[in-house]
């Protein structure tokens, strides 16, 4: 299953949210995977995605986070 990946690691807000918004704008039904390395980005992206009507699953990795965004 192919899905969309947004790698926003190393970027400071609001860039990860803007990158996520661009992926959501092109949403094709496939889950969007967003990679970030800051908890503040996790919270901001979760809030944004929920406001757009998406569900967000957060997976904590060693140094970063993976957010799976689904409709």
Tens of pLDDT, residues 20-69: 999 999 999 999 999 999 999 999 999 999 999 999 999 999 999 999 99
Catalytic residue numbers? 13
Give the pLDDT score at 3. Answer: 64
**Domain count for the chain:** 1
Q: Of 29, 40, 48, which is closest to residue 64 (Cα–Cα)?
A: 40
How far is CA 11 from each of CA 8, 17, 28, 42, 53, rounded to the nearest angstrom? Answer: 6, 10, 25, 12, 25
The CATH number of residue 60's host domain is 3.30.110.40
Is the whole-model pTM more than 0.85?
A: yes
Expressed as residue numbers, the domain containing 53 is: 4-70
Is pLDDT of 1 > 60? no
């Amino acid at each position: 299953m192919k899905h969309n990946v947004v790698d926003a690691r190393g970027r400071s807000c609001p860039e990860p949210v803007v990158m996520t918004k661009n992926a959501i704008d092109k949403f094709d039904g496939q889950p969007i995977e967003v990679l970030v390395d800051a908890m503040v980005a996790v919270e901001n992206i979760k809030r944004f995605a929920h406001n757009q009507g998406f569900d967000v699953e957060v997976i904590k990795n060693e140094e970063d986070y993976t957010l799976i965004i689904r409709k």
